[in-house]
């Protein structure tokens, strides 16, 4: 990827609208559900599980949740 393509991509990303708290919460709940399902499956792919874990933690942080509360919800 060239520098120009990267700059264009960053510029396009900056045009995205800010998500509402309700949209973020809905995404948090959906990702939390996906993480739980994946964790219950037999031999879940580690990279996919870690990606969902990171997204849940990030969305929880955006929503103002404590790390401890997010960790409890992941169980």
Domain presence at residue 65: yes
- Per 3-state DSSP, the chain is made up of helix, strand and coil in percentages (nearest 5) of 75, 0, 25
* Helix, strand or coil, per DSSP, at residue 28: helix
Residue scoring higher pLDDT (8 or 28): 28
Six-digit token pair at 54? 């990171």
Domain presence at residue 15: no
Domain range for 40: 20-74
Q: C-alpha distances in angstroms, 7 versus 10, 13, 14, 16? A: 5, 10, 11, 15
Domain presence at residue 59: yes
Q: Count structural domains, the chain.
A: 1
- Given this model, what pLDDT does residue 75 score? 87
pLDDT in tens, 33-46: 999 999 999 988 99
Distance in angstroms between the alpha carbons of the first and the last residue of the chain: 40
């Amino acid at each position: 990827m060239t520098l120009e393509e990267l700059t264009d991509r960053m510029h396009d990303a900056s045009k995205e609208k800010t998500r509402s708290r309700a949209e973020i919460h809905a995404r948090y709940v959906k990702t939390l559900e996906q993480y739980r399902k994946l964790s219950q499956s037999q031999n879940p792919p580690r990279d996919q599980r870690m990606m969902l874990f990171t997204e849940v933690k990030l969305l929880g942080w955006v929503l103002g949740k404590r790390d401890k509360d997010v960790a409890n919800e992941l169980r």
